[in-house]
Chains A and B, each alone.
Chain A
C-alpha cells in the first residue's frame, strides 16, 4: 500500500486520476465490517461512560457493594462458550462446511439465550435476598449495566435469528459468511465488555 501524506497541497495541478483503492484513508473492507467497527466505537463510548460514572459514584459515602452470586461465574462461562460457537461458525463458513456452520451458529445463539436467562436468574436471586435496585447505588448500577449489556446481546440475537433462518432456508452459505463474521466480531466485543464490567464490579 502506497502511503501518501494526507495534507499534500491538493490544489497543485492534477496529474491524472488517482485511484483511491490504494489510498490510506479508505479501507479494503466490506462496508458492513467498517460500519460495525464504528458502531462498536459508539457502544464503547456508552459503556465507558457508565463505568466512569460507576467509579465516581462509588466514592460517595453510601456505597455498599453487592454480594456476588456464584451464578455469575457460570453465566460468564456460558457467554464464552457462545463466542466459541460463533468463532467456530466463522471458520466453518470459510471452509464452506454448511453442516458445521449450522450446528455452531445455532450453538452460539442458544448459549447466548442461556446467558440472558442466567442473568435474569441472578436478578431474581438478588431480589430474593433483598438487594433491590433502589436499595443502594451499587445495586442500581449492577442492574443498569447488566440490563444494557443484555439488551445489546438481544439486538445481536435478532440478527442471529435472521441469519439462521436464511441459512436453513437457502441451504447454502453464500453471502451469509459476511453476516456470520459480523456476528462473531460483535459477540467477541460484547464478551470483552462483559469481562471488563464484571472485573470492575468485583474490585472494591
Chain B
C-alpha cells in the first residue's frame, strides 16, 4: 500500500511545507489587504478539499485493496450523495467567489480624488509622467516620439508643458495617498507590477489602461515588467520610492518639466536663462574685454571664473561667487582683480539680467569642469534616451553589450573582425549601430543622431563604469 502511504506523506508534506517555507507573499505595502484575505479564504477552502480528497483516497486504497475472496460493491449511482456533494461544492465556490467579486468592485472604481501618474512602458525601460501644476496630463501621439521628445507629447498642447517627466525608471510616490497609474506603451505589451502593492496591469500600445492603489509603507519597492516583451523583458526593472509628502514634493520639483526639456534642447545644451545671459554678454560688449576660452584680455577671462579664488588689488583674497560677480558688474572698480586696470564701466542690470548672466558664467565654468559635468551629462543622456533599457551597467547580459568595462575592451564583431572599443568605435556604434554589431547580439539598436558634445558626454560616462 505504498501509494496510500505516499498520498498521506504528500498531504503531510504539503501542509508542513506551507507552514515551514520561507516563501510567501511579499509584505503588503498597499491598501489591498482584502486581496490577501480573499486569497486566504480560498486557501482554507481548497486546502481542506485537497487534504480530504487525498486522505479519503488513501484510506480507500488501503481498506479496499484486492482480495480474492471479496467482491466490490455494485453502485451505479447515488442520487442523494451526488446532490449533497454538488450542493456543498457550490457553497464552497460561493464562499470563495463572493468576496472576490466585492473586492473586484473596489478595484474597478477608482476613488474620488486619487492623484494620477502615467507609467509608460517601452522596450526595455519605464518612464513616468506627472500632470504638473495644472493637474492635467498632456496629449501624446506616437508620431511625436523622437530623441528630443521621448514621451511623444504634443508640443502644441498647453496642458503638456508643465508635465513632469521622469526617464530613469524610478517613480516616487507620497505615502498614504491613493494613486491611479495610467499605463501606456510605445511598442509592445508590458505590465506594471510591484509585488508589494499586489495590483498589476498590462500596458497596451494603442490604449490606456489603469490600476490604482494606496501605498501604505515608506520604502523602496521593486517594479518588474510582468508581460513578456522581448529579449530584454527580464531586465526591464524599475523602482518605486514611497516617501512622506515633503520628500516627495522635493523630488518632484527637482524633475524637469516638458517645457524645460524642450527649451534645453532648442539651442545646443543651453537652457533659456543661460541663453539670455549669453545674449546679454554679446549685446553689452563684455566680450570685447573678457574672453570665454581663457585667452588674456583687458579683463579676466570668464573661463572657470565662478568659484575661483582671486587676489584683489588691495591684497585681499576673494572667492568669485555670485555676489562678487554682481558687485563687479554694478560697481566694478570697487574690487578690481590684481593685475588688471580699473577701466571697466559700471552696468546697471536688473536682477533678472544679473541672474541670467551668472547662469551663463556658471555654464562656462561647468563645461570646463570637464570630468564631472560631462560625465553627469552623459549619465543623464543615457537615462533619458533609453540606452539603459538594453545596456546594463552591472555586467549582466541583456539586449545589448553591458557598459561595464566596455571602454577599451577588445570585442569581436558579427563579421568576425576584432576591434577595440575606443572613442571612435563607440561613436560609430551610436551613430550607425548595425554596421558595428558585436557578435552574439541581434542587430536591433536604432541609430541615434547626437551632437559631438553629447557623444563625448556619453563616452565620458561609459569610461566611468568599470
Residues of A whose CB lies within 8 Å of any CB of B are 9, 11
The contact string, 1 if C-beta is below 8 Å from chain A, for chain B 71-94, is 000001100000000000000000
Q: In the bound complex, how far is the Cα of B77 from the Cα of A9, in angstroms?
A: 10
3 pairs of A and B residues whose beta carbons are closest in the complex: A11-B76, A9-B76, A9-B77
In this complex, the interface size class of chain B, counting residues with CB under 8 Å from chain A, is under 10
Closest residue of chain A to B206 (Cβ to Cβ) is: A60
Q: Which residues of the partner chain A approach B77 to less than 8 Å between Cβ atoms?
A: 9
Q: Which residues of B contact A9 (CB under 8 A)?
A: 76-77
Contacts A/B (CB < 8 Å), 3 sampled:
A9-B76, A9-B77, A11-B76
| Nearest B residue to A12, CB-CB | B76
For A11, list chain B residues within 8 Å (CB): 76
Residues of B within 8 A of A (CB): 76-77
Complex CA–CA separation, A11 to B76 (angstroms): 7
- Which secondary structure dominates chain A's binding surface? loop
Q: How far, in Å, is B182 (CB) from chain A's closest CB?
A: 19
Q: Give the residue name and chain of the B residue nearest to A9 (CB).
A: B76
Q: Across the interface, which residues of A come within 8 angstroms of B76, CB to CB? A: 9, 11
CA distance A9 to B76 in the complex (A): 9
A118 and B77 CA atoms in complex are apart in Å by 62
Alpha-carbon gap, A11 to B75, bound state (A): 10
* Complex: A94 Cα to B7 Cα, angstroms: 66
Q: How far is the CA of A38 from the CA of B62 in the complex (A)?
A: 47
CA distance A9 to B78 in the complex (A): 12
**C-alpha gap A112/B378 in the complex (Å):** 68
A73–B141 alpha-carbon span in the complex (Å): 41
Select from chain A the residue with minimum beta-carbon distance to B207: A60
Tell me the complex Cα distance, A118–B392, Å: 58
Q: Which residue of B has the minimal Cβ distance to A60?
A: B206
In the bound assembly, the distance between CA atoms of A41 and B48 in angstroms comes to 43
Q: Which residue of B lies closest to A10 (CB)?
A: B76
Expressed in whole angstroms, the minimum distance between the Cβ of A133 and any Cβ of chain B is 20
- Nearest A residue to B76 by beta-carbon distance? A11
Give the distance in Å from the alpha carbon of A138 to the alpha carbon of B306 in the complex: 65
> How far apart are A167's CB and chain B's nearest CB, in angstroms?
54
Distance, CA A83 to CA B76, complexed state (A): 53
| Distance (whole angstroms) from the CB of A94 to the closest CB of chain B | 48
Task: Give the shortest distance, in Å, between A201 (CB) and chain B (any CB).
Answer: 24
Min CB distance A173 to B, Å, is 51
Instruction: Report the bound CA distance from A6 to B77 in whole Å.
Output: 16
Closest chain A CB from B68 CB (angstroms): 25
A11 to B74, CA, bound (A): 10
For residue B77, which residue of chain A has the nearest CB? Answer: A9
Cα of A68 to Cα of B366 in the assembled complex, Å: 67
Q: How far is the CA of A182 from the CA of B166 in the complex (A)?
A: 66
- A187 CA to B144 CA, complexed, in Å: 51
Kindly state the separation between the CA atoms of A107 and B294 in the bound complex, as whole angstroms.
Answer: 96
Taking the closest CB of chain A, its distance from the CB of B327, in whole angstroms, is 62
Q: Shortest beta-carbon distance, A61 to chain B, in Å? A: 10
A60 to chain B, nearest CB (A): 9
Min Cβ gap A49→B in Å is 21
A24 CB to closest chain B CB (Å) equals 22
CA distance in complex: A11, B77 (Å): 10
- Min CB distance A5 to B, Å, is 15
Q: Smallest distance from the beta carbon of B72 to chain A beta carbons, Å? A: 14
- What is the minimal beta-carbon distance from A79 to any residue of chain B, in angstroms? 37
CB distance from A135 to the nearest CB of B (A): 18
- B113 to nearest A CB, angstroms? 31
B77, chain A: closest CB distance, angstroms: 8
Residue of chain B at shortest CB distance from A11: B76
